[in-house]
Amino acid sequence: MTTLLKFGKGNAKLSKKIATISLPSGFTCPGALECLSKANKVTGKIKDGAETVFRCFSASQEALYRNVRENRWFNFDLVKGKTVEEMADLIEASLPKQDIIRIHVGGDFFSQDYFDAWVLVSERNPDKLFYAYTKSVNLWINLFDKLGQAGVKNFKLNASRGGRHDHLIEEFMLKEALVVFTEEQAAEKGLLIDHDDSLAYTQDESFALLLHGAQPAGSEASKALQVLKKKGKGGYAKKKATA
């Protein structure tokens, strides 16, 4: 019997109609820079990158929950080293029944082949809606003729700022999800704030995300998060992660 990838259900902020799949945060994020954090595969001990401004929420979950960490490494170990076709076949065979699939709560498109495999899966499954946030915008750009500035009808893409390839977001005018520290910051930029991911997969305009998760002590992000929490906002990690 084929070993299949592990999908999860939406976390605290996502609709239960959404299935998710994740890979190890940081380890599979070649475009990560300001968010870069990694939870050790064995111990779960978290390590921030040299230029971390806001700590990766997903890495924090991996540090907290061993089963989350193990599931993500299980998926990564299963897909890596395969061809585009092999990865697409594996992903397709593993797809859950939900109609909406969020590609990655933790992790990112770690190679062009892996990115291409998901595009292929979306083409083979027009009745499902796939969406992703990504800092691997350099890989997206390689498929720009096909995917455009926000993805296509059933494969929606959202550039995530704070990565190594941010300049491409402006250059190609990509749809982006901008992490903001305050609601006022979002208003100044004229961006709607997304609270449940719906702006990521229902429309093609850029939007804002309020900072969440645990942040490095003493950082600007940490101070901003305290303010948001006092207002009852930010910090979606109320429930145990399932991805």
Q: Using CB under 6 A as the criterion, which residues of the chain lie in contact with ligand SF4 when the complex forms?
A: 25-26, 29, 32, 35-37, 56, 58-59, 106-108, 135
Minimum gap (Å) between residue 52 Cβ and ligand SF4: 9
Nearer to ligand SF4, 37 or 94 (CB): 37
**Pairwise CA distance, residues 25 & 66, whole Å:** 13
Nearer to ligand SF4, 109 or 155 (CB): 109
* Phi then psi dihedrals of residue 44, to 5 deg: 80, 0
3-state secondary structure at position 184: helix
Minimum gap (Å) between residue 165 Cβ and ligand SF4: 11
Minimum gap (Å) between residue 61 Cβ and ligand SF4: 10
Q: Using alpha carbons only, what angle is made at residue 28 by residues 33 and 157, rounded to the nearest 5 degrees? A: 80
Minimum gap (Å) between residue 217 Cβ and ligand SF4: 18
Nearer to ligand SF4, 133 or 155 (CB): 133
Minimum gap (Å) between residue 49 Cβ and ligand SF4: 8
Residue 198, CB-side half-sphere exposure with 13 Å CA sphere: 7
**Pairwise CA distance, residues 56 & 48, whole Å:** 9
Nearer to ligand SF4, 89 or 216 (CB): 216
Question: Rounded to whole angstroms, what are the CA distances from 134 to 67, 115, 129, 192?
Answer: 24, 10, 16, 19
DSSP 8-state assignment for residue 163: B
Nearer to ligand SF4, 43 or 83 (CB): 43
